[in-house]
Amino acid sequence: MDDQIPLLVAGSWEVGDAPLEVRNPYDGSLFTTTSYATPDQVERAVAAAHAAREAAAALPLHARADTLIRISRKLEERADDFVHVITSENGKPVTWARAEVGRAVSVFRWAAEETRRWSGETIRLDTDRAAEGRMAYVSRVPKGPVLAISPFNFPLNLVAHKVAPALAVGAPVVLKPAPKTPISALLLARVIARVMRKSDLPDGMLSVVNVENERASDLVRDPRLPVVSFTGSGPVGTAIQAAVPGKHVVLELGGNAAAVVCADWDSEPDLARAAERIAAFSNYQAGQSCIGVQRVYAVDTVYDTLRERVVAAVKTLGTGDPKDPATHVGPMIDEAAARRVEDWVGEAVARGARVLTGGGRQGSTYAPTVLEDVPPDAKVVREEVFGPVLVLERVASTDEAFARVNDSRYGLQAGVFTHDLQTAFRAHRELEVGGVVIGDVPSFRADQMPYGGTKESGVGREGVRSTMTDLTYERVLVLTGLSL
């Protein structure tokens, strides 16, 4: 890596005035250094996005689509570089880092495909006598430049989910990556900037600036950035929404995702698959995923067998150096995060919870942990653990399971293991979440589908086309005096 990774400020690569060290979460070693942007650099980034808004919105669809597909291909060509960066700055095991890069490649490809389909519609208005000879043409236009604030847990793919749809609709972006993991975003910016330069896109289409979290409120309030897209913690998202009531705000916040195992999911292959999926996705990304499995409600007829299989599967998940291909569960983002999880588990145990496996911390790594007999008001049930901790609970029926899923202030996604079609549609009807996954864990996400939550899990939707819709508004043209 460079001695100091520069920032992208309206087409110019620049170094800020305060260094930002990026450390490997596994051992605390220095990975590389970048910098925080100066107030002048932030101002120029915002001003350039504002100045480019009309030219960006006027870009022909082929120019946007060609740019996006070139970004996708260049990203794929440099996949190994991105895997190295993600693992080094985030601590994500190489297997999961490679999966994240693959998803980001797809996001830009899908954005290119959706751009070519991004067309208006015509509506004949002469269905009423008063509108004879009239037709409406309805198109979607950008709401304006986007302030994108991305989190540490998916430092590349969640950046892609903000940048690719914005480029697709012709909206400039000022990106503020998470201070813990800014290098993935800056490496992606290099790829995008080179492609944009060859495509003659305005320099103000993308800037990537590191800004201290304490200074981000000025960016959030800037009237030249009428759209704010934030992925991160609930309290921060709520504060953003309250600070700018006149802006369009998209929030992807937390969750404490639940899986339900119904009585009909009772064969040996069924329970083996459920246990393997639950074990894997309660611990992938070291549990630092808002749709990672945190709560499991299993009907009592399958509970004992499922518990045995889940515990056995979790015990096989190796922890250690994320660069080792054998490592499934790497470190958390820092030792403070691991200590918080340790405290929450300790609180649950002090109140009667039993540790079936795990429960130990070594530096920033927390062992994959399964708990049972947890009080329903314990933090590991009520809050978002955001760590490798799974709570198992026996329930008497699907009715009880669904009630427990809904007994949460979060509502992002849920998984329901059932073969029954009526139960599947009932889950879709009754569960207060943004998405229900049948026959699998709540952690499944296809990047082209609508994704988002209800209650305190956020507002708005991601997923390429959903985001494109969210970043735009309908503009109507009425033609008069036509012979239809």
**If you average pLDDT over residues 310-333, what whole number do you get?**
96
Percentage of residues in the chain having pLDDT higher than 90: 97
Domain membership flag for residue 231: yes
Confidence of residue 1 (pLDDT cuts 50, 70, 90): low
Domain membership flag for residue 211: yes
Domain membership flag for residue 484: no
Residue 71 is predicted with a pLDDT of 98
pLDDT per position as a tens digit, 353-386: 999 999 999 999 999 999 999 999 999 999 999 9
Instruction: For residue 340, give Cα distances in angstroms to 41, 337, 362, 428.
Output: 35, 5, 13, 34
Q: Are 334 and 29 in contact (CB under 8 A)?
A: no
- CA–CA dist 205, 196 (Å, integer): 9
Q: 418-429 in b/e burial notation, b at 16+ Cβ within 10 A?
A: bebeebbebbee
Domain membership flag for residue 348: yes
Cα angle 250, 253, 255 (rounded to 5 degrees) comes to 145
User: Do residue 187 and residue 264 come from a single domain?
Assistant: no
Domain membership flag for residue 427: yes
**If you average pLDDT over residues 107-129, what whole number do you get?**
96
Structure tokens at 233: 């913690």
Give me the domain span that covers residue 319: 258-446
**If you average pLDDT over residues 221-228, what whole number do you get?**
98
pLDDT per position as a tens digit, 289-307: 999 999 999 999 999 999 9
* 3 pLDDT higher than 90: no
User: Do residue 266 and residue 243 come from a single domain?
Assistant: no
* 182 pLDDT higher than 90: yes
Domain membership flag for residue 441: yes
- Neighbour count for residue 302 (Cβ, 10 Å): 21
User: Do residue 325 and residue 349 come from a single domain?
Assistant: yes
Domain membership flag for residue 123: yes
Residue closest to 434 by CA, chosen among 252, 234, 280, 261 = 252
Instruction: For residue 251, give Cα distances in angstroms to 55, 108, 256, 318.
Output: 27, 21, 16, 34
User: Do residue 165 and residue 222 come from a single domain?
Assistant: yes
**If you average pLDDT over residues 63-70, what whole number do you get?**
97
User: Do residue 143 and residue 20 come from a single domain?
Assistant: yes
- CA–CA dist 411, 408 (Å, integer): 7
Percentage of residues in the chain having pLDDT higher than 70: 100
Cα angle 200, 197, 104 (rounded to 5 degrees) comes to 110
**CATH number of the domain within which 413 lies:** 3.40.309.10
CA-based R_g, the chain, Å: 24
Residue 2 is predicted with a pLDDT of 63
Known catalytic residues are 252, 290
**If you average pLDDT over residues 16-44, what whole number do you get?**
97
User: Do residue 361 and residue 403 come from a single domain?
Assistant: yes
Q: Based on the structure, what is the number of domains in the chain?
A: 2
**CATH number of the domain within which 208 lies:** 3.40.605.10
**If you average pLDDT over residues 224-240, what whole number do you get?**
96
User: Do residue 325 and residue 468 come from a single domain?
Assistant: no
User: Do residue 286 and residue 197 come from a single domain?
Assistant: no
**If you average pLDDT over residues 251-267, what whole number do you get?**
97
Q: What is the pTM of this model?
A: 0.96
pLDDT per position as a tens digit, 421-475: 999 999 999 999 999 999 999 999 999 999 999 999 999 999 999 999 999 999 9
User: Do residue 243 and residue 332 come from a single domain?
Assistant: no
User: Do residue 385 and residue 331 come from a single domain?
Assistant: yes
Residue 200 is predicted with a pLDDT of 82
* 130 pLDDT higher than 80: yes
pLDDT per position as a tens digit, 416-429: 999 999 999 999 99
Confidence of residue 144 (pLDDT cuts 50, 70, 90): very high
Domain membership flag for residue 159: yes
Would you say the C-alpha torsion 166, 167, 171, 175 has a positive or negative sign? Answer: positive
User: Do residue 307 and residue 230 come from a single domain?
Assistant: no
